[in-house]
Amino acid sequence: MRDNNDMPGHLARRFQQIAVAVFHAEVEAAGYDLTPVQYAALSAIGMNQGIDQITLAGLIAYDRTTITGVVDRLVQKGLLVRNPSSRDRRARELRITEEGMRALQGITPAVEAAQRVMLRGLTKEEVEEFMRLLRKAIAAGNELSRAPLKQISAEGTKGS
């Protein structure tokens, strides 16, 4: 019988666990309280001011039902504002606040450090190859998840 540790899915889960733990540790040490998911959302909104939640979900490959809670918490922390869209009354426009911008900039070194720590076992060349293989595997499987990545074409309101 095949050992669990020969299963790519199992290894993926373990690596993700480590990645999240490292992220938390580095970010907390820097004095911030943001999860990896919240950081990715905040960062994506900062680069695409005014997008709605579905577009955000596509940008970072989150499920649309997950976005609601993530945005809730970011709004509660004062890092985002969520306003009804004027063009489409179903949609909510997401904008990063001044405080959110400061948090994003302040947290960046910790996030960069986390990426290094979680791959500290690999050489520089191995890191490159690892990322390449991850991207390739993800590209081939993108549509198999309920939350596929969806790049915006060419109309996103570019921020700052």
Partner DNA sequence: CATTTCTTGACAGTATACTGATAATCAGCA
Partner DNA sequence: TGCTGATTATCAGTATACTGTCAAGAAATG
Residues found near a copy of itself in the complex (CB under 8 A): 1-2, 4-23, 25, 36-37, 40, 43-44, 47, 59-61, 108, 111-112, 114-115, 117-122, 126-127, 129-131, 133-142, 144-147, 149
**Contact pattern from residue 116 through residue 145 relative to DNA, giving x for each residue in contact according to CB under 7 A and a dash for the rest:** -----------------------------x
Q: Which does 9 bind (CB under 5 to 8 A by kind): DNA, a copy of itself, none?
A: a copy of itself
Q: Which does 113 bind (CB under 5 to 8 A by kind): a copy of itself, DNA, none?
A: none
Q: Give the CA dihedral 128, 131, 132, 138, nearest 10 degrees.
A: 180
118 membership: H or E segment, kind and range = helix 98-118
The CA distances from residue 4 to 1, 12, 65, 118, 128, in Å, are: 9, 11, 31, 21, 26
- Minimum distance of a copy of itself from residue 9's CB (angstroms): 4
Q: In the set 63, 99, 112, 128, which binds DNA (CB under 7 A)?
A: 63
- If one asks whether residue 52 binds DNA (CB under 7 A), the answer comes out as yes
Q: What are phi and psi of 80, to 5 degrees?
A: -135, 160
| Rg of the Cα atoms in the chain | 17
Q: Which does 81 bind (CB under 5 to 8 A by kind): DNA, a copy of itself, none?
A: none
On whether the CB atoms of residues 44 and 67 are closer than 8 A, the answer is no
